[in-house]
Amino acid sequence: MSSILKPFIALYTAALFLMMSLGLLTTFVSLKLTMEGISTQVAGLIVTSYFIGVIVGSLYCKSLIKSVGHIRSFCAFAAIITSMVMLHGLYMSAVAWALFRFFSGIAVIGLFMVIESWLNECSHSDTRGRVFSIYMILCYLGNGIGQQFLNFGDVKDQTLFFVIGFLLMLCVIPVSLTRSIHPDLPEIETIRLKQIFQKAPLGILGCFTAGLVNSSFYTMGPIFCHKINLSVSQVSNFMTIAVLGGLFLQWPVGAFSDRFDRSVVMPVTGGIFALISCFILLAAPHISFTAFLAVTAIFGGFMFTIYPTAVARAHDMFEPKDVVNVSSALMFFFGIGAVIGPLISSTVIEYIDNPYGFYAYFTCISAAYTIVAYILRKKEIAKSISVEDQVDYKIMKHTS
In the prediction, which pLDDT does 363 show?
Answer: 97
Prediction pTM value: 0.79
Q: What is the pLDDT of residues 269-292, one digit of tens each?
A: 999 999 999 999 999 888 999 999
Task: Name all domains of the chain by residue range, CATH numbers in brackets.
Answer: 1-180 (1.20.1250.20), 188-400 (1.20.1250.20)
Q: What is the pLDDT of residues 325-344, one digit of tens each?
A: 676 677 788 889 988 998 89
Q: What is the pLDDT of residues 205-228, one digit of tens each?
A: 999 999 999 999 988 898 899 889
Spatial CB neighbours of 77, under 8 Å, sequence gap ≥ 6: 61, 107, 108, 110, 111, 114
Task: Please list the ranges in the chain whose pLDDT falls under 50.
Answer: 380-382
In the prediction, which pLDDT does 130 show?
Answer: 67
